[in-house]
């Protein structure tokens, strides 16, 4: 994940299952960015068939590390699981 000079987010996806699940993977990434109110980043995702929950967890982790946050709002994250 890298900041870009735009308010839009971009996703570059390399995946062995892109034909079957590319849209779903992009949706998980987009939804996670929206939930964390992240704008203006370029995401490069290299996937080997990870489950949605794994992709979401990896996105949350990389975004928190990039923002140098050391704590997670677990109640907020749990509220996403509708």
pTM for the whole structure: 0.88
The pLDDT of residue 77: 82
**pLDDT above 90: residue 74:** no
Each residue's pLDDT tens digit, 40-69: 999 999 999 999 999 999 999 999 898 888
DSSP for 6-55 reads SSS-EEEEEETTHHHHHHHHHHHHHHHHHHTT--SEEEEEEESS--HHHH
Each residue's pLDDT tens digit, 4-35: 999 999 999 999 999 999 999 999 999 999 99
């Amino acid at each position: 994940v890298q900041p870009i000079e735009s308010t839009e987010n971009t996703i570059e996806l390399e995946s062995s299952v892109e034909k079957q699940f590319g849209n779903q993977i992009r949706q998980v990434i987009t939804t996670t960015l929206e939930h964390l109110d992240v704008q203006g980043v370029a995401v490069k995702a290299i996937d080997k068939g990870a489950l949605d929950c794994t992709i979401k967890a990896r996105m949350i982790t990389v975004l928190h590390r990039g923002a140098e946050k050391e704590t997670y709002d677990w109640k907020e994250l749990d509220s996403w699981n509708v």
